[in-house]
């Protein structure tokens, strides 16, 4: 299969482009706002619409800063060490989920303490929307023709621009499906149960670690890194601990009394 003729931008005015990938971020943040607002009302948290707006803004700043710094640290450290100002060049691409997770976590902890609301309660009302942003983000990666998979002979293998003449796994779509609708349904069901505060968030951590580790079996490793310890990719080395930690924490929280 040939890669579909999709422009990475929605429209262009001179040198200014409005890109699909940027739109995916905006839609993801909107999903967090509305789902967090709904979750706060359902759980009777003392948060107004303005409070939720502040929460989303704070989390967005943490996510973007963390994702960019995480990419520089985990995926191209030597380059950014030699060219530190390039870290600011976000338009050149390069965002790390794991760095974004760290940045968002720090931002949410700061916000929760400022508002004097339980950290896990805040995390739980935001987490069900995460699959929306993740799924859309991977579709954005696909539209950009980036982060494609390994060479394959499956019937749906796709020839990507920049990926050479051989067909490859459309691994972005695999990840979009698992981290998008599949994870969304699971987290939505958990969030509607009488699970202890923190269960939704740590379930998300475990599921992301599992799904990302699996999809990395089909994804081409980063060119500047290749395969690392034990033939694992950097994505797997960062995601396996998430799966183990998330699973352990879900078991821990399940032993506690359900939140009222």
Q: Where does residue 104 rank: exposed (0-12), middle (13-18), buried (19+ CB within 10 A)?
A: buried
- pLDDT score for 257: 57
Q: Which of 184, 173, 110 is nearest to 141 (CA)?
A: 173
CA 223: distance to chain centroid?
A: 21
The pLDDT of residue 233 is 94
pLDDT of 155 reads 94
Measuring CA to CA, how many Å separate 42 from each of 36, 37, 55, 72, 124?
A: 10, 9, 17, 39, 12
Predicted pLDDT of residue 260: 43
pLDDT for the residue 15? 77
How far is it, in rounded angstroms, from Cα 92 to Cα 189? 38
Per-residue pLDDT of the chain (260 residues; tens, 9 = 90+): 888 888 888 888 887 888 888 899 999 999 999 999 999 998 889 899 999 999 999 999 999 999 999 999 999 888 899 888 888 887 777 889 999 999 999 999 999 999 899 999 999 999 999 999 999 999 999 999 999 999 999 999 999 998 999 999 999 999 999 999 999 999 999 998 888 889 999 999 999 999 999 999 999 998 888 899 989 999 999 999 999 999 999 998 877 655 44
Cα separation, 197 vs 95, whole angstroms: 29
Can you give the pLDDT at residue 219? 96
CA dist., res. 259 & res. 197, Å (int): 6
Degrees (nearest 5) of the Cα angle 148, 150, 203?
70
The pLDDT score that the predictor gives to residue 256 is 67
Q: What angle is formed at CA 118 by the lines to CA 116 and CA 122, rounded to 5 degrees?
A: 105
Is the pTM here over 0.85, yes or no? yes
């Amino acid at each position: 299969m040939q890669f579909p003729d999709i422009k990475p931008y929605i429209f262009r005015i001179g040198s200014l482009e409005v890109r699909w990938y940027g739109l995916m971020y905006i839609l993801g943040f909107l999903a967090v706002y509305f789902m967090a607002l709904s979750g706060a009302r359902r759980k009777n948290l003392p948060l107004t619409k303005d409070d939720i707006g502040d929460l989303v803004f704070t989390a967005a700043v943490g996510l973007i800063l963390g994702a960019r710094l995480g990419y520089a640290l985990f995926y191209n450290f030597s380059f950014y060490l030699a060219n530190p100002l390039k870290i600011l060049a976000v338009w050149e691409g390069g965002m790390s989920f794991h760095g974004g997770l760290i940045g968002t976590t720090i931002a949410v902890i700061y916000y929760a303490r400022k508002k004097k609301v339980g950290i896990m309660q805040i995390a739980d009302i935001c987490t069900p929307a995460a699959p929306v942003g993740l799924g859309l983000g991977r579709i954005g990666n696909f539209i950009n023709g980036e982060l494609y998979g390994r060479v394959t002979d499956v019937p749906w293998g796709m020839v990507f621009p920049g990926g050479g003449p051989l067909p490859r796994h459309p691994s972005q779509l695999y990840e979009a499906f698992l981290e998008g609708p599949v994870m969304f349904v699971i987290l939505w069901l958990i969030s509607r149960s009488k699970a202890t505060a923190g269960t939704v968030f740590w379930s998300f951590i475990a599921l992301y670690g599992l799904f990302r580790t699996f999809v990395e079996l089909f994804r081409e490793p980063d060119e500047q890194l290749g395969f690392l310890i034990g033939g694992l990719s950097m994505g797997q080395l960062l995601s396996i601990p998430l799966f183990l930690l998330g699973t352990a924490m879900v078991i821990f929280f399940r032993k506690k009394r359900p939140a009222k």
